[in-house]
Amino acid sequence: MNQWKNFTKGFIKDNPIFVLLLGMCPALGVTTSAINGIGMGLATTFVLVMSNVFISIFKSFIPSSVRIPAFIVIIATFVTIVDLSMNAYIPTLHEQLGLFIPLIVVNCLVLGRAEAFASKQNLISSVIDGLSMGLGFTFALGLLGAVREILGSGSIFDFKFINPEADGILLFVLPPGAFIALGYLIALMNRLKKS
């Protein structure tokens, strides 16, 4: 039961985007569509889980004086795996996400969970934490991308549900639209948590 509480904590109570406001660069940069948001979220989830696993296993072997550089090397290894795999198997999404995939290395969510959680907890707790935070991140990016895609182009997952000749609200396709949509989603999440 305690593990389930830890799982839902990262998804709801401590959502990386809507509550902790971590990883805002990809949240605002790649969420022009739901598929981009979900793709970025799943890539980050893989890196989070795998880096948490390795850091949890090898934490007693890493000297405290090189702890952060060692964590970054571990994280960078899994980011490279994700980057090369996406380029090989889903090149269209890889091209859409572009530079934001390598930037997972310096995502404060990934490094923060490595330092604050995986380096102090056991393997099972670290895996659950990585999954929880990663899926919460994926949910937030997917929702933000869906809202921007619906309002910006009148489609969802590239399925146009309004008149094909009609344009959406251009603002939501552009970076300022990301800030506006994110602000309203954070307000909505805060309202839902209070009720």
What confidence tens digit (pLDDT) does each residue in 94-147 have? 999 989 999 999 998 999 999 988 889 899 999 999 999 999 999 999 999 999
Give me the residue label for tokens 């800030």: 179
Rounded to an integer, what distance in angstroms lies between the CA atom of residue 181 and that of residue 140? Answer: 11
Rounded to an integer, what distance in angstroms lies between the CA atom of residue 195 and that of residue 181? Answer: 21
pLDDT (0 to 100) of residue 131: 93
* Whether the predicted pLDDT of 168 surpasses 90: no
pLDDT (0 to 100) of residue 75: 96
Orientation of helix 67-89 relative to helix 34-58, angle to 10°: 140
Amino acid type, 13: K
pLDDT (0 to 100) of residue 2: 63
Binned at pLDDT 50, 70 and 90, residue 58 comes out as: very high
Q: Please give the model's pTM, rounded to 2 decimal places.
A: 0.91
20-48 average pLDDT score: 92
Q: Which of 76-80, 102-106, 175-179 has the highest mean pLDDT?
A: 76-80
Rounded to an integer, what distance in angstroms lies between the CA atom of residue 63 and that of residue 191? Answer: 44
Yes or no: say if 151 and 167 are a contact pair by the CB < 8 Å rule: no
Give residue limits of the domains in the chain.
Answer: 2-194
Give me the residue label for tokens 């991308």: 145
pLDDT (0 to 100) of residue 193: 80
pLDDT (0 to 100) of residue 132: 92
* Whether the predicted pLDDT of 64 surpasses 70: yes
Q: What is the token pair recorded at 104? A: 């997972």
Yes or no: say if 141 and 17 are a contact pair by the CB < 8 Å rule: yes
Yes or no: say if 114 and 51 are a contact pair by the CB < 8 Å rule: yes
* Rg of the chain in Å (alpha carbons): 17
**What value does the mean pLDDT of the chain take?**
89
Cα 120 to Cα 6, 55, 129: the distances in Å are 15, 9, 12
pLDDT (0 to 100) of residue 154: 84
Rounded to an integer, what distance in angstroms lies between the CA atom of residue 98 and that of residue 104? Answer: 11
* Whether the predicted pLDDT of 21 surpasses 80: yes
Give me the residue label for tokens 């959680």: 117
pLDDT (0 to 100) of residue 77: 97
Binned at pLDDT 50, 70 and 90, residue 5 comes out as: low
